[in-house]
Structure formats: C-alpha cells, structure tokens
Chains A and B, each alone.
Chain A
Amino acid sequence: MTQDHYREKIRGIHDFIKENLYFNRPDLEIKGEKFNSALIFSLLTGLNKGKELIIGEPGLGKTTSAEYVGSLLYRIPIAIIWGAEVSGHPEQTEEKIIGRPDLGKLNKGTEEVVWSHFAQIPVKIVDEINRLPETKQSMILDGVDRGNWEYLNEMIINEEYCLFATANYQDRGTNTIIAPMIDRFDVVIESRHPGPNIAYLVGKFNEKDRILRNSKAENSIHKILKSKLSYQTKLRQMEEVCDDYGEFLKKKLGIETVGLRDRKAIHAAISRLELDLDANAFTRMLLAELSFCYKYGQKRSIENCEEGCHFTGYLCHDTTNCASNRLPTSIKTYSQALAWMIGDTVVGVEHIKAIMPYTLAHRIQWREEYLSNKERNKRDNPFQIYLAKDAVKSIFNRYGEQSEHLKSALAVGYRLFKGEDLEPVDGDHPVYFEIKRDLGLED
C-alpha cells in the first residue's frame, strides 16, 4: 500500500472526527490548509508514539478528543479506552495504574501479575495528570518513555504506545507538574472553547461517541486483556479483534482505518523524511538561543543573566532554564509527521514554525520581568503558548535576516570539522559562537 493511500486513510480519520465527534474551530493554518490544533496534534501524537499534554478549561473536550483519536487510529473500541484511562487523583496507586498481584495466587504463595488495561493497550490516557502525586506522574512517564512496565519483577513491553495527558489550569486541587516531568511531554496544546455556535452543536449531539461502540469487540478485547495469556499472544489476538473492529467502522461509518502493520509503515515513512537546510538551520538557531550563555558556558536555571551582557537581545536573556535534548527530538518528529500528513516530501521551515511553539511552550521558564511585560498583551492562546509563539516569531525574524550567512557558517563548520584549514564564519548570534565551541575554536 502506498503512502498516499495511508495518508488518505489518516486524513479520513481526521475528517471524520472533525465532522462527527470533535467540533471545534480551526486555529492553525499550514500551507493554506486550516486545522484545529488539538485534533491535528493528537493525530500526530498517535502517529509518532508521542506524549501530549492537553490543557484547557474543564469540559472542553480534552479527554474526549484523545479518546476519539486513540480509538480510530488504533482501532480500539472506545469503551476499552475508557476502561483503561487513569484518572488523576492523589489516591492512585501503582496497583491501579500498572498492575496488581493475582490475589488468589498470592494467598497460595505465588506471585503473578494481573496487568492493568492501561499498561497493556497502546493508547494511554491520563486524565488530570497534575492531580497525581509526583511519584505517580514519574512512574507513568518513565513507563511511556521506554514502553516497558514492571511490577513484582515481571515486565511487559509495549511495541507501540502514545500518551495523552490532560490537565486543567491551576486550581486548588492540583499540583504543579514539575519541570523534569513536563519536559517529557513532546507537545502541549489547548483544547479550546469552540464558540457558542459550535458549542450548541456539541450539546445537540451529545451522545455522538456511541457510534464508536461495538460491544462484541469490546467484550472480546476485555476477555483477552484479563486472560492469563502471555502479553505477546494477547497482542496478536487483540490485533485480530481490532481488525474486525476496523471492518465494523468501515461498514457502519465508512471510515477506513489503519492496522498495526500500516502504522509501522507510516511511522517508518515519517522518520525517513529529511529536514531541508532552512528547517535544519532554523532549529539550530532556536536551540542556540535557548541553551547559550556567553558568561557561564551554558544556560542554567541557578545562574542569573547579567544585565549588561551583549546577548540581551536574544532569548537566552529572557529565559531562566536550558533547553533539554528532548526538545529537538520533539520538533523533528512532529514536523516530520506534519509534513507527511500534508503530503510533502521534505520537512521545511513552515512545518517547523507550525510545530515549534507547541513543543516549546511547556519547556521554557521565563524571567519574571519578561512575563510581566507580556502578561496583559492581547492574545488568542493561553499565555504559555502565546509566549512560545512570540518567541518563535522573533527567532524566525532573526533567521530570515541571516539564513544564508548561517548556512554558510554551518557549511564551513563541516569542512573545519573535517580538518580543512579555514576561518570559521563570524556572526553576532549565539549560534555562531556555539559553532566555534563545537570546533574547539572559541575565543
């Protein structure tokens, strides 16, 4: 099956959800095509085996959007996804999230694990993750990072998985998701209010998710999941039921979905997409501004930026923390997925620009003065996403002015690294200094 065919199917899923399940306004435009950010990013997360944090006011479809995407993309009946969801509250335990001992066997002195649905199925949804204590947040994120879940010295390994975590805005019942945790999310998006007219539609069709129910498939999968078979066997059996469910969706709703092999092929095709030189250089420029410190070698959250520093015009002055290495991974994978979705053969700067703010918003910590300067600005996004969009815009402007110069600097860097006798290209931006550092040529 060709990539075009796969793309058509994924588009079909997207359009179906948009028309029938998740009603919202488009708020993201790429190459003349308009998308709703929550929906498109959820799809990309599903395709990418990513981790997405969905924020928003209560009742605006944060969890349901993830459920629809998970159900249709992975061909899992929606009731199974509901049953596998972990809800965030402080009394959650490892036993409720990952697995528990088989009590009958435990009383007889044997250890055997009964795995939770959450650990077994590929679509993992955590509702209100910020209400979980830190230890539980860490446990979930560790598991999804590596795809393996351990309990009582037993382990299952997920072949494919993606995580959707929702969080309300800060209220009295929530903890903050601390920086090391939040950094593990690839993207943050907001599930917005759709406006009164679309909201009315939502109210009018309030039982719409029933169309995704299939009790036969649900019962079968539930039986498989709670059985004592090996995990690999369960997966095989589950895939067969999922294929049947896929047929059901095709017959009843007219949507063509994708199976495990298809998803693997899509994933492989996505990861083969190359970034063009502009996209590549622009990403490096962003990373430089978020990690550079002239005085202290690199950005650190425990070190203050001096007022008189030469580089006060760059993001390194306005931020307090250093960009992690997860950031470029998130940017690359999501922009590849987006390019694939649109049908492009190369990842360009437009894809990067569209993705970047959502990969950045939750990872940057801003200086107080910067925050208070921007707090009252007119905007159309939650504050953190607005700041990220603003930052990307200003870096992009700088890139626009010197794109050729930067690419030349990187090309010369390649040759210098190989050992050629050349002068490195100079420039004012932190990225030129970083190039010199990489070459061992800094002043």
Chain B
Amino acid sequence: MKNPFDDFRNHRTREREIPLDSIIQSRNKVMSQITKGYEKLLEEEVKELVWLVQYNTVIKAYTLAEKVVKEFEYKAEDIEEFCYELDTTDKIPYLITGPAGIYISALCNYAQEEEITLKLNDLKTQINLLGYRLPVGKKVSVEGNLGDFTGIGMEGGELGVEGNAKNYTGAGMKSGRIRVTKNIGLHTGEWMMGGEIFVGGRVRGLGKIVDGKVYEDEKVIYPRNYRQSNVYY
C-alpha cells in the first residue's frame, strides 16, 4: 500500500528549541516527582484520610518525608508551586494539611538554597506544621497566612511569616527564630525549649513555655511577664 505520509518524507521540523521548553520540561519532571513523593507519604501514613497531630505520627511522617525528598533535586520555586498544586486538587487527589505541612517542611529543610521565599498569599488553605525541624542556617520566608503548629520543633534557622499564624506556633522549638508580622493564636510556644518568637500583632495566648523568649510588638511578654497558659489578653 502507498505510504499516505509520503509527501512529508523530507520534512524536518523547523520549530526552534528555546530555553523555555527545557525549563518547562524540567519543571514538569520535578513537580511530578514531588507530587509522587507526597502521594507516597499519604499512602503510608494516612489511614482512611485521618491523620492526627501526635508526637509519634509527626516524627514518623517526617522520617518518611525526609527519605522521599532526598531522592530528587528541586528548587525553592518548586516548593511554592507544589503548595499551589495542593490547593487546586486537580493533579493531587486530596490535601490533608498535616502531612502536607510535614512534607513541605522536609522539602524546605533539604532544599539546596539556604534562603527560601514562599509567596503563599493566594493560597486558599492554610498549611499546618510548616517549619518543622527547620535546621540551623536555613531561612524560610512565607508571604501569607499559615495554620497551626507553625515552626514546631525548629532546630535553628529562621522562619518569617508575613501574615498570621494560628495555634501552637513554635511548639517544641529548640532553637532558632520565628517572626510573624501579624497575629498568632493560642498555645504559643507550647513546650518551647529555646529560640525566639517575634510577633508584630497580637498573641492570643501563651502555652507552657520551658525556655526561650516571646515578643509581642517588640515587647517581651515571656519570660518577663510570665502568664498562665491560655490566659487571654
């Protein structure tokens, strides 16, 4: 039979390859890896779509997340984009903010860059547990609001939030610095063992702080004016 494409036998594609093509290709590849990593985490950690913030579950989830993120290379923009992908659930089956936050924290902690800026102002959901175990020498700046357990278990480093954070901010942090430009919620610094929390707006309530400092609008509110947990101002 005659080749129906015979007329095109000598055609050579004339389209130029421009850097945009490889940028997009590599971005798609990385995003796919990040997404698969997240799905893997969910598969192993989340039973029946329920995940509770407990000491063990958080550590277990983070250990797995660490393992996953070490397998591929990515950049800070990839992390930001992943946050937005989580928001739309087109490509990702479901968002469970706990494991998502742990995963994103692992991504931040193991990113090549020492300074990471995440512009999350337009995110519809608020990410919990961001900044978990942020190590020394790492700086993460977030534009937008975050959820609960922000900066939980920080080991050094600096976490900046241009917006609000919710409850249990800085819980269990060992060292490092958290700056929140607006307000934070209750149980701030719960079991905090070191480090500093700076809040530009209001602190709704302090938790059981072991050590460290909390500032509200540049004034030290802990330890100078120690207050019982959940006392409202």
Contacts and interface: CB of A to CB of B under 8 A. Distances in A.
A70 B13 CA distance: 45
Given A407-B13, A411-B12, A418 B3 contact: yes
Contacts of A410: 5, 7-8, 11
Nearest to B10: A411
Contacts of B13: 404, 407-408, 411
A189 B8 CA distance: 33
Interface of A: 275, 277, 280-281, 404-405, 407-408, 410-411, 413-414, 417-418, 435, 438
B5 A411 contact: yes
B4 A411 contact: no
Contacts of A404: 13-15
A427 to B, nearest CB: 14
How big is the B interface, by class?
10 to 19
A407 B13 CA distance: 7
Nearest to B6: A414
Interface in B1-48: 3-9, 11-15
A414 B3 CA distance: 7
Contacts of B9: 411, 414
Contact of B7 (A280, A408, A417, A418): A280
B8 A407 contact: yes
A407 B11 contact: yes
Contacts of B5: 410-411, 413-414, 417, 435, 438
A295 B12 CA distance: 33
Contact of B8 (A277, A405, A438): A277
Contacts of A407: 8, 11, 13
B9 to A, nearest CB: 5
Nearest to B12: A411
Given A411-B11, A438-B5, 12 more contacts: A277-B8, A408-B13, A410-B7, A410-B8, A410-B11, A411-B5, A411-B8, A411-B9, A411-B12, A413-B5, A414-B9, A417-B3
Interface of B: 3-9, 11-15
A142 B12 CA distance: 43
Closest 7 CB pairs of A and B: A414-B5, A410-B8, A413-B5, A411-B11, A404-B15, A411-B8, A408-B13
B21 to A, nearest CB: 13
A404 B15 CA distance: 7
A8 to B, nearest CB: 31
B202 to A, nearest CB: 52
Contact of B11 (A408, A417, A435): A408
A407 B8 CA distance: 7
12 contacts: A277-B7, A281-B8, A404-B15, A407-B11, A407-B13, A408-B11, A410-B7, A411-B13, A413-B4, A414-B8, A417-B3, A438-B5
A411 B5 CA distance: 7
Contacts of B8: 277, 280-281, 407, 410-411, 413-414
Nearest to B9: A414
Contacts of A438: 4-5
A408 B3 CA distance: 16
A436 to B, nearest CB: 12
Contact of A417 (B4, B12, B14, B15): B4
Contacts of A435: 5
Nearest to A438: B4
Contacts of A414: 3, 5-6, 8-9
A408 B5 CA distance: 11
Contacts of B7: 275, 277, 280, 410
A417 B8 CA distance: 12
A84 to B, nearest CB: 40
A410 B11 CA distance: 9
A280 B9 CA distance: 13
A234 B11 CA distance: 50
B2 to A, nearest CB: 10
B3 A277 contact: no
A221 B127 CA distance: 94
B30 to A, nearest CB: 22
A417 B4 CA distance: 8
Nearest to A413: B5
A438 B3 CA distance: 10
A263 to B, nearest CB: 28
Nearest to B7: A280
A109 B13 CA distance: 72
B55 to A, nearest CB: 48
Nearest to B15: A404
A302 B151 CA distance: 65
Contacts of A405: 15
Max count, chain A CB within 10 A of own CB: residue among B4, B9, B12, B15: B4
A247 to B, nearest CB: 44
A38 to B, nearest CB: 32
A190 B15 CA distance: 41
A281 B8 CA distance: 9
A277 B11 contact: yes
Contacts of B11: 277, 407-408, 410-411
A194 to B, nearest CB: 41
A220 B3 CA distance: 52
A122 B15 CA distance: 49
Contacts of A411: 5, 8-9, 11-13
A281 B4 CA distance: 12
A118 B12 CA distance: 51
B3 to A, nearest CB: 5
Nearest to A281: B8
Nearest to B16: A404
B177 to A, nearest CB: 50
A280 B5 CA distance: 10
B1 to A, nearest CB: 9
Max count, chain A CB within 10 A of own CB: residue among B8, B9, B11, B12: B8
A408 B14 CA distance: 9
A93 to B, nearest CB: 44
A275 B6 CA distance: 13
